[in-house]
Amino acid sequence: MDKFEPLILGFACNWCTYAGADLAGVSRFQYPPNIRMIRVMCSGRVDPVFILKAFAIGADGVLVGGCHPGDCHYMEGNYKARRRIELTKRLLGQFGIEPERLRLEWISASEGARFAEVVTDFTKEIKELGPSPLKLQGNPERSKGSR
Amino acid sequence: MKGDMYLARSSSEEILNKTESGGVVTSLLRFALESKRVDAVLAIKARDGNRYDGIPVLISDPEEVIATAGALHCVTVNIPRYIKEYLDGAFNMKLAVVGKPCDIRGIIELVKREQINLDNLFLVGLNCSGTLSPVVAKKTIVEEFGADPLDVVYEDIEDGKLIISLKDGTEKTKDLKELEQKGYGRRENCQRCEVKIPTMADIACGKWGVTNNKKATFVEVCSDKGAEFFEEAIKAGYINVEQPDDKAIEERRKEEKEAIESALKWQETDFAPLKDMANEEKFDYWWGQFSQCIKCYGCRDACPICYCKDCTLEADRGIVTPGEVPPSVMFPTIRITHVMDSCVNCGQCQDACPAEIPLTKLIHMLNRQLDAIFKYEPGLDISILPPLRTVTDRELTMPGVELAF
């Protein structure tokens, strides 16, 4: 297990976190390559189904990044995201998937350094947790390599 | 007036002879039809007199209302779903609906989802101390009471006891708690249900608070619509009322409190083993359960909260692989995420499940956990939107990524 490299899926909101990630890249901040980013227009667009699907097809962790409260481009998308993440965490927890594998962070467009920091920290945390139980189970969806 | 309480009694001998209580619900339904306040009445009756086979009936002839008189405890139909699926969500007809607290709560949740038109409904709520699944009820009667289920003319739950009256006039009583510990008795979800008096309906009727074996129904008027309706029914001579004394009100409150305490205890007993499992145990337990799923969609079709016309779980939506049984983890998890914030603990999913997956237990437990964050009681208050559709003012000032109320 020492060589475990987690697979982390990141959802980044177009207006803040994605720009923050961009800034991290432009500024040459280093962060682990374990994360795969998907840009969404708003953290409020992240349906719990997306998160479940990520875990179902083998993600070890899911990071959702949104604008700080009060900064949402769509007024209250991030507040709704916060509620959904709370709900999804409870669900994962009940099924034996550690809720810590799902993390919500507020990262603004100017916080390139923070983006790198969050990804580094999250990757470290997931490494300590080990592979997702769903992955270990040899989940059929994963072996089929479906979408 | 809203909040008024009455001890009421039907003025019709015919109805009184047919029921164990004051016959108020039947009289109100008849009044609703005869005064043309509603187009039809939706209630439950025993099919061909079989107490274990309750069916929903839509009645427009006042003479037929009497067939629905009397309580049925061994019936588990799902009223909100009928209104939505078969009666067009009451958008085109005025209905008087009779329901247990979970039925009324389901209706209110569907109203919030714009699937049912509340303006066209008159909701008659029945106090409920629980229902029995027909199969378990028959088993209980044969094995525990030593009686023939078909001889039962009336069953009741009172003071923590299950009482059955037989054709020959004998009455048998058993302690409900003892029965339930042996696996008989009420449905699991009813044991855990903490909403006993449906104050979210227009009026709430029941027998708690009726003392001295009086033939009467205790009525609480819960809305302005209910008040107007009830007062008109009194004026038209369908119902006689008297004021309940403080003792009766206190008695009713006490009964409710005891029932709720018992429900909370059941919640603790039932949820604790699931909560206390270690992570791997939880994982193995639930995936073990879900691997029995035959993807019959029974839980989805029975659920009063599920309402999408195009369901994410259908084969053509690219999420759940067509023809795959048991379905992947997406199937149960998506269904649960979609309903867990608003579960009214009606027990329909678990009743419907041919694989006997403890779905209601799981969803209700998750819902109770969410209650700690969202402070949302499903189906109780029409003015509060489901948690995932709303944001409170307090939240706007919370800077963190976690909700902490």
> Which residues of chain B neighbour A122 with C-beta distances below 8 Å?
none
A66: distance to nearest CA of chain B, Å? 10
pLDDT digits (tens, 9 = 90+) for B24-55: 999 999 999 999 999 999 999 999 989 999 99
Write the CA distances from B20 to B100, B206, B401, integer angstroms. Answer: 17, 11, 55
pLDDT given for residue B49 in this prediction: 87
The yes-or-no verdict on residue B213 having pLDDT over 80 is no
Across the interface, which of A49, A84, A140 has its CB nearest the CB of B328? A140
The yes-or-no verdict on residue B405 having pLDDT over 80 is no
Q: Which of B147, B130, B127 is nearest to B138 (CA)?
A: B147
pLDDT digits (tens, 9 = 90+) for B102-125: 999 999 999 999 999 999 999 999
Place of tokens 């009086």: B214
CATH of domain A8-143: 3.40.50
Please indicate whether, in this complex, the C-beta atoms of B366 and A52 are within 8 angstroms of each other: no
Across the interface, which of A80, A98, A103 has its CB nearest the CB of B279? A98
| pLDDT, average across residues A118-131 | 96
Asked whether the CA dihedral A46, A49, A54, A60 is positive or negative, the reply is positive
Instruction: State which amino acid sits at residue A134.
Output: L
* Residue of higher predicted confidence among A1 and A24: A24
Q: Which two tokens stand for residue B106?
A: 């389901």
DSSP B100: -
Distance CA B116, CA B107 (A): 7
The yes-or-no verdict on residue B73 having pLDDT over 50 is yes
The yes-or-no verdict on residue A115 having pLDDT over 60 is yes
CATH of domain B5-131+186-258: 3.40.640
pLDDT given for residue B105 in this prediction: 97
Mean pLDDT score of chain B, rounded to an integer? 93
pLDDT given for residue A2 in this prediction: 62
Residue B38, SS3? coil
Q: Are B344 and B389 in contact (CB under 8 A)?
A: no
Q: Which of A55, A53, A85 is nearest to B283 (CA)?
A: A55
The yes-or-no verdict on residue A143 having pLDDT over 50 is no
> Which residues of chain B neighbour A133 with C-beta distances below 8 Å?
279-280, 283
Asked whether the CA dihedral B127, B132, B133, B138 is positive or negative, the reply is negative
The tally of CA atoms less than 13 A away on the side-chain side of residue B106 is 26
Which ranges in chain B are annotated with CATH 3.40.640?
Answer: 5-131+186-258
| pLDDT, average across residues B222-228 | 96
Provide the percentage of residues in chain B whose pLDDT is more than 70: 100
pLDDT band at A147, cuts 50/70/90?
Answer: very low
Residue A52, chain B, CB below 8 Å: the answer is yes
The model's pTM: 0.93
Phi and psi at residue B323, to the nearest 5°: 75, 5
The yes-or-no verdict on residue B317 having pLDDT over 90 is no
* Residue of higher predicted confidence among A147 and B86: B86
Q: Which of B333, B357, B365 to mutate to test the interface with A (most CBs of A within 10 A)?
A: B333
pLDDT given for residue B133 in this prediction: 94
> Which residues of chain A neighbour B366 with C-beta distances below 8 Å?
90-91, 94
Residue A129, chain B, CB below 8 Å: the answer is no
Q: Which of B133, B145, B155, B126 is nearest to B22 (CA)?
A: B126
pLDDT given for residue A139 in this prediction: 52
The tally of CA atoms less than 13 A away on the side-chain side of residue B157 is 25
pLDDT band at A137, cuts 50/70/90?
Answer: low
pLDDT band at B2, cuts 50/70/90?
Answer: confident
User: Mutual orientation of helices B101-112 and B79-86 as an angle, nearest 10°?
Assistant: 40
ipTM rounded to 2 decimals: 0.89
Q: Which of B291, B132, B114, B99 is nearest to B200 (CA)?
A: B99
pLDDT digits (tens, 9 = 90+) for B364-382: 999 999 998 999 999 999 9
The yes-or-no verdict on residue B404 having pLDDT over 90 is no
pLDDT digits (tens, 9 = 90+) for B120-153: 999 999 999 999 999 999 999 999 999 999 999 9
The yes-or-no verdict on residue B18 having pLDDT over 90 is no
Residue A12, SS3? strand
A117: distance to nearest CA of chain B, Å? 16
List A residues 66-95 in contact with B (Cβ-Cβ < 8 A). 68-70, 76, 79-80, 82-88, 90-91, 94-95
